[in-house]
Amino acid sequence: MKIIDYITEEKINLSTNLSKIQNFCASKLRETPLPKSQSETWRISNKQKLSSLLEYQYDLNSYQPNIPSYLTSKKAIKINVGNANQFNLKENDWQIKELNTKEINFLIEEKIINNNSEPTWTNLLNHSLVSEENLLGIKISGENIPPLQIFCNSKINHFNAKTLILLIDEKTTVDLLQVNLGDKNSSLSLTTYVWLEKEASLNHGVISLGNGTSNLLNSLDVVQKIGSNYKLSTIQMQYDFARFEVNINQSEGGGHTTIRGMQVSNDNEQIGTYTKVVFNGPKGYLDQLNKSLANDKSHSIFDGSIIVPKNAQKTDAAQLSRNLLLSNTAKIDTKPQLEIIADDVKCKHGATITQLNEDELFYMRSRGLTFAEASKLQLKSYYKEIIDSIPVLEEGLELLNHLIN
Amino acid sequence: MQEKMTGKEPLLEIKNIFASTEDLTILKGVDITIQPGEIHAIMGRNGCGKSTLSKIIAGHPAYKINQGSITFKGKNIKSLEPEERAKSGIFLGFQYPIEIPGVSNLEFLRVATNARRKFLKQQELDTFEFEDLVKEKLELVKMDYAFLNRSINQGFSGGEKKRNEILQMALLNPEIAILDETDSGLDIDALRIVASGIKKIANKENGIILITHYQRLLDEIKPDFVHVMANGQIIKTGDCKLALELEKNGYEWTDQLSQDS
Ligand SMILES: Nc1ncnc2c1ncn2[C@@H]1O[C@H](COP(=O)(O)OP(=O)(O)O)[C@@H](O)[C@H]1O
Ligand SMILES: [Mg+2]
């Protein structure tokens, strides 16, 4: 596997200004280059697909993404991780400021090195590889902030790695759409860290769209302070192998978290979402819906855990996993997990696996719609709920049509 | 049995149909012939097979036809998909119209209308042209345009669902319309609206089957034939007087016939 060889053969040591983090992560990977197969969230991952993901040439350059019209927002400030020059956008009532290397390193060290818990393999890989140009940290503060779009992409026949850090200041409200695009035959490793300060609010869309043969390792880590509001709306599809790991920590409790996620798998693809929401204080709130749609011979995985320790009394958490199986040969694994130690909490979770509704299909067919047209309308409604909740997106309908066809 | 023969080719001819689900035979030899311009009423106890008959005409995949034939304009339609039957002019107004959350009523109606128009070699309508057409048809059933922006039948009252069925019928301009208890659960005003909608659509070329329990509807729309169904068969056919007799004597009166046959 080219990427693992690249790390283990110590090629990255040749790079002149190797950071402490890079050293730390690379040395960990040299000990255990691949995810431990006994690890619960990697157990049913397709090992062969993972090795294909790692079989591309590492490329520390970055390329201007080719942004389709249905993902372009006219109003938004657009930032491309990799070709962003040092910037500091400032108006009377708001500021978007790029963090310097020292600030960024400090933040990542806190996460990776000075942290009690073991870093994930996905993040170790990301930090071993990411070059300084592909590392972007921004701090946003103020009022009336314009919507933002942040792009990350991988280039054909290459493996690209990017890291993004977002600090949202106290009482600051931000609408952000993160767009991840994969060329065919390419891999993207992306790690995003978000800090939401007290009473900050982030309406966060993440659209990850590959090209059928693309691969994605996407890690999102969010820390929410008390009174903060975090809304995540995501859609990921068209990857041969995609893995989205979401870690949300309500570090003081008292946060408000909403998740609307959707993944679609076709052909022989394997697409997975792994979310973990931890309440480290009382009165936290979570409302989570994950939809999976599996077609052909594909495999869709949803693994969602909610952790409510003793100090998280009066937590109110609900999780629902809704799954739609479109073929007899597709496979869906859904695993909601609650770990509750506090006693005064409201937690519910559920999972359904269904097929397209026969009666609904017949009703539409009896009006002259073909089976395919009727299914398409049903699917549209299945997608729409998620697409409608994605912020910044101006061409939701156009995107929907693109995804359905 | 049916005297009003015109000499034309029948629109719809159902001959000795036996139909079943996986483990239950529901229709046990049904015959009906409908000529252009005719209105037929089918009456009969709950559970005797009226809806099943209407669904097999529309091509519902849950039922298997074990025997008999269904001919529409001289062509056996047994192997046609439901959408092909619909496009060629067969319309079923559902006893229980289905709610489809998330699917826009307007979009559904437009796709359906265009499918039918395409079959008729008429020009397909774009969003604006369709809007004009649908506004005109909404008049017929006294529905508000706002209904179209909602999901199909979702949250509609019983009467609104039935009016939505008649709206669809008006848009699709069918040659055979089977209206399965479209009058059930309607208040007097809604019944009048539905009845006058049906009357406006009925003409010399098309045929209508009204499945109903009530004389009220037949007062408004006078059927040429009334069939009484029991236990998967048509046990008696007559004119509109038969419906009045039924109204007076109840279905028990026909039970005797059913046992005799
Ligand atoms: N899809 C089905 N599966 C099983 N039984 C059915 C099905 N459809 C109809 N039946 C049964 O067949 C009989 C006739 O039903 P139906 O045609 O709906 O009667 P009607 O419309 O005259 O009230 C009933 O006993 C009903 O329960
Ligand atoms: Mg019925």
Residues with CB under 5 A from ligand 2 (ion): B 50-51, 95
Question: Which residues in chain A have Cβ-Cβ distances shorter than 8 Å to B94?
Answer: 363, 366
Question: What average pLDDT does this structure show over A199-227?
Answer: 97
Edge-to-edge strand order for the sheet containing B75-76?
B25-34, B12-20, B64-72, B75-76
C-alpha B93/C-alpha A348 separation (Å) is 41
Question: What average pLDDT does this structure show over A259-265?
Answer: 97
pLDDT at res. A17: 60
Question: Does B1 score more than 50 pLDDT?
Answer: no
Beta carbons of A304 and A321 less than 8 angstroms apart: yes
Structure tokens at A133: 């140009």
Question: Does A16 score more than 60 pLDDT?
Answer: no
C-alpha B195/C-alpha B218 separation (Å) is 9
Separation of B27 CA from ligand 2 center, angstroms? 13
Pocket test for ligand 1, best of B26, B46, B228, B231 (most atoms within 8 A of CB): B26
Structure tokens at A128: 């071993």
Q: Which of A362, A367, A377 to mutate to test the interface with B (most CBs of B within 10 A)?
A: A367
Q: How far is B259 from chain A (nearest CA, A)?
A: 35
Question: Which residues in chain A have Cβ-Cβ distances shorter than 8 Å to B58?
Answer: 366
Separation of B28 CA from ligand 1 center, angstroms? 13
Question: What average pLDDT does this structure show over B108-126?
Answer: 96
Domains detected in chain B = 12-260 (3.40.50.300)
C-alpha B192/C-alpha B219 separation (Å) is 10
Beta carbons of B239 and B224 less than 8 angstroms apart: yes
Question: Does B99 score more than 50 pLDDT?
Answer: yes
Q: What are phi and psi of A349, to 5 degrees?
A: -150, 160
Phi-psi region of B201 (alpha: psi -120 to 50; beta: other; left: phi over 0): alpha
Q: Which is more confident, A404 or A270?
A: A270
Beta carbons of B18 and B25 less than 8 angstroms apart: yes
Instruction: Enter the DSSP assignment of B64.
Output: E
Please report the DSSP string for A102-127 in residue order. Answer: HHHHHHHHHHHTS-SSPPPHHHHHHH
Domain ranges of chain A: 2-252, 356-405
Q: How far is B173 from chain A (nearest CA, A)?
A: 11
ipTM: 0.94
Q: pLDDT band at residue B3, thresholds of 50, 70 and 90?
A: very low
Contact A377 B111 (CB under 8 A): yes
pLDDT in tens, B17-44: 999 999 899 999 999 999 999 999 999 9
Residue matched to tokens 């079943």: B20
Question: What average pLDDT does this structure show over A29-35?
Answer: 93
Separation of B48 CA from ligand 2 center, angstroms? 8
CA nearest neighbour of A238 among A213, A207, A255 = A213
Structure tokens at B167: 């709206």
Numbered residues of chain A with Cβ closer than 8 Å to any chain B Cβ: 357-360, 362-371, 373, 377-378, 380-382, 384-385
Beta carbons of A9 and A115 less than 8 angstroms apart: no
Residue matched to tokens 């669902």: B161
pLDDT in tens, B153-211: 999 999 999 999 999 999 999 999 999 999 998 999 989 999 998 999 999 999 999 99
Beta carbons of A326 and A300 less than 8 angstroms apart: no
User: Which ranges of A32-114 would DSSP assign to H, the alpha helix?
Assistant: 47-53, 101-112
Question: Which residues in chain A have Cβ-Cβ distances shorter than 8 Å to B152?
Answer: 363
Cβ neighbours of residue B215 closer than 8 Å, sequence gap 6 or more: B243, B244, B247
Beta carbons of B26 and B52 less than 8 angstroms apart: yes
Contact A381 B101 (CB under 8 A): yes
C-alpha A353/C-alpha B254 separation (Å) is 47
Classify B48 as helix, strand or coil: coil
Instruction: Enter the DSSP assignment of B6.
Output: -
Contact B108 A359 (CB under 8 A): no
Question: Of B58, B100, B111, which has the smallest distance from its Cβ to A366's Cβ?
Answer: B58
Q: pLDDT band at residue A84, thresholds of 50, 70 and 90?
A: low
A9, A23, A99, A132, A164 from A16: Cα distances, Å: 16, 12, 22, 12, 22
Pocket test for ligand 1, best of B18, B52, B55 (most atoms within 8 A of CB): B52
C-alpha A245/C-alpha A302 separation (Å) is 10
> How far, rounded to the nearest angstrom, does the alpha carbon of residue B229 sit from its chain's CA centroid?
16
Question: Does B118 score more than 60 pLDDT?
Answer: yes
Q: Is the dihedral of CA A376, A378, A383, A385 positive or negative?
A: positive
Contact B100 A381 (CB under 8 A): yes
pLDDT at res. B133: 96
Q: Is the dihedral of CA A110, A337, A45, A158 positive or negative?
A: negative
**Range from A27-41, A77-91, A354-368 carrying the lowest mean pLDDT:** A77-91
Contact B100 A367 (CB under 8 A): no
Residue A51 burial (10 A CB sphere; 0-12, 13-18, 19+)? middle
Classify A198 as helix, strand or coil: coil
Separation of A376 CA from ligand 2 center, angstroms? 29
Separation of B164 CA from ligand 2 center, angstroms? 18
pLDDT in tens, A311-362: 999 999 999 999 999 889 999 999 988 999 999 999 999 999 888 888 999 9
Question: What average pLDDT does this structure show over A278-301?
Answer: 96
Q: List residues near ligand 1 (CB under 6 A).
A: B 21, 24, 26, 46-52, 62
Residue bearing the CA closest to ligand 1, atom 18? B51
Contact A380 B97 (CB under 8 A): no
C-alpha A84/C-alpha A104 separation (Å) is 15
pLDDT at res. A10: 67
C-alpha B3/C-alpha A312 separation (Å) is 81
CA nearest neighbour of A20 among A128, A126, A99, A125 = A128
* Beta-bridge partner residues of A135: A163
Strands A229-250 and A201-224: parallel
pLDDT at res. A358: 85
Beta carbons of A185 and A215 less than 8 angstroms apart: no
Q: Which helix (H) or strand (E) holds B169?
A: helix B158-172
pLDDT at res. A4: 92
Q: How far is B223 from chain A (nearest CA, A)?
A: 25
> How far, rounded to the nearest angstrom, does the alpha carbon of residue A310 sit from its chain's CA centroid?
28
C-alpha A371/C-alpha B17 separation (Å) is 26
Beta carbons of A2 and A58 less than 8 angstroms apart: yes
Separation of B49 CA from ligand 1 center, angstroms? 6
A95, A165, A288 from A168: Cα distances, Å: 11, 10, 22
pLDDT in tens, A229-261: 999 999 999 999 999 999 999 999 999 999 999
Contact B111 A382 (CB under 8 A): no
Residue bearing the CA closest to ligand 1, atom 20? B47
Q: Which is more confident, B176 or B258?
A: B176
Least distant ligand from the CA of B231: 1
C-alpha B118/C-alpha B112 separation (Å) is 10
Question: What average pLDDT does this structure show over B44-56?
Answer: 96
pLDDT in tens, A146-170: 999 999 999 999 999 999 999 999 9
C-alpha A185/C-alpha B178 separation (Å) is 54
Q: Taking a contact as any Cβ pair under 8 Å apart, which residues of chain B between 13 and 72 contact chain A?
A: 58-62
Q: How far is B242 from chain A (nearest CA, A)?
A: 31
Upper half-sphere CA count for residue B167 (Cβ side, 13 Å): 29
Instruction: Enter the DSSP assignment of B139.
Output: H
